[in-house]
Each structure stands twice: as structure tokens, then as C-alpha cells.
Amino acid sequence: MNQDDLKRAVARAAVELLVDDAVVGVGSGSTVDLFIDEFVRSGRRFAGAVSSSENSTKRLRGHGAVVLDLNDVVASGQPIPVHVDGADEIDPGLRMIKGGGGALTREKIVAAAAGRFVCIVDQSKCVDVLGNFALPIEVIPMARELVCRALREIGATPRVREGFVTDNGNLIVLAAGLSITDPVALETQINQWPGVVTNGLFARRPADLVLVATADGVETRRAR
């Protein structure tokens, strides 16, 4: 099985966890792209999708799926029982680094609105300690150097993702060299810096469940 086969297997498994006739939260990335394909083609009845990136919205609409505005969904009191998203790293507590595709802020917003966060990954994303993958941080452009300086002060090596603008019109700063032993504390700390929109640590609100694609099949893991 190559990595695409693993991603498709885990994407297919996530479709089984959806709730009929409900709004579905949809994350971003190549694994989620396959989830979108599998879920729309599955014929499952759903009330529409709430999307966390322009890319996912385009893919959903390409399949003829209804994409709903999150504000309308929340204001109408409709639940989002399941949100499906990928990750760049996930630890045994189901805390994640996300944002490799630069969509972390909208992903965090949709996750916050959803009941159950189902993370879909292949085995290569599972780590004991987060931080080998450089932490993406969405930053308002005028705060770029201020945020980079603050990152150096906590021992990180920052670099701006070249030629990339987020769906919200901001920059992504990548913080390498962090060994993240207390992800909740670091998520909270970085999010308090002026100019940071949000960072890619999903620790305050970890996943509820992770589906991991391995060569032997798809495993379901809960937080240890």
C-alpha cells in the first residue's frame, strides 16, 4: 500500500462515522480531499458541509455538495456532530500540529463549533512528542518581525512561508526546533502575542478520536 492508498482507506473509514442528515465539518489537506471524494460519492444523506478552506469548498462544490456558512449554521442552532480533519503530527493525547496547508485558523474555528473531532492520518503522522514538524502560525503581516523575535526568545527558529497568503489574507510563520512537552501551555502562550491570529497547536481542543491508516488496516485510537 502506498501513502495515497493509506489516505484513501482512512478517508473511507471516516465516512462510516458520519451522522445521517446532519451538517458535516470538513477540514483541509490531501487526506481530507480524499474524504470529500469518498463521502460525497458514498451517497450518505447530509444537510450540508461547513468548510475550513477555499480549497475544500471548491472540491465540495465540484462534487455538487452544499457548502453552508458557519455563521448561519451556528445562528440557526443546527449541530455539527462530526468534524473530519487531517493533521501534520498527532501525539498519544490526540493533541495535534496542524496547518501544513495554511488553513489552521478556519480549521480551528470549525473544530470549535463541532461536537466530535475525528482526525484522519496515516501512521507517519503519529509521534510521541509534537514539534518535529515546524509549527505553523498565522500572523498579521505588520507583526511578522515581532512574532519572529518572540519565537527566537523561546528557542524556535522562525521562517516565513514564502509566497503564501492565507485565505484570511495573512502570513504563515513556521517555527522549527520546538520540542513541545506542554502543548496546551505553548498554544496558549503564542496565541496571546499581538499579531498572532492563531497557531497550529490543537491541544486545548484535541481530537476526540483518531483513525490511523497502517499497512494492516485502519486503527481507531482514543486519548491515552
Active site residues: 107
Among 15, 30, 127, 189, binds ligand 5RP (CB under 6 A): 30
Among 25, 100, 158, 183, binds ligand 5RP (CB under 6 A): 100
**Cβ burial 16-51 (10 Å sphere, 16+ → b, else e):** eebbeebbbbbbbbebbbbbbbbbbeeebebbbbbb
Residue 171 in the binding site for ligand 5RP (CB under 6 A) = no
Nearer to ligand 5RP, 136 or 195 (CB): 136
Q: How far is the CB of 28 from ligand 5RP (least distance, A)?
A: 4
Q: How far is the CB of 12 from ligand 5RP (least distance, A)?
A: 14
Among 9, 49, 103, 151, binds ligand 5RP (CB under 6 A): 103
Q: How far is the CB of 13 from ligand 5RP (least distance, A)?
A: 14
* H helix intervals, the chain: 3-15, 30-41, 54-62, 70-75, 104-113, 144-153, 183-191
Residue 88 in the binding site for ligand 5RP (CB under 6 A) = yes
Among 48, 86, 183, 206, binds ligand 5RP (CB under 6 A): 86
Which triple of cell numbers denotes residue 188?
496558549
By beta carbon distance, the residue nearest ligand 5RP is 29
155 CB burial (10 A radius; 0-12, 13-18, 19+): exposed
Nearer to ligand 5RP, 28 or 150 (CB): 28
Residue 206 in the binding site for ligand 5RP (CB under 6 A) = no
Provide the edge-to-edge strand list for the sheet that holds 96-97. 89-90, 96-97, 201-202
- Asked whether the CA dihedral 160, 191, 184, 32 is positive or negative, the reply is negative
Q: Which residues pair with 176 in a beta bridge?
A: 157
Residues that bind ligand 5RP in the complex, under the rule CB under 6 A = 27-31, 85-88, 98-104, 107
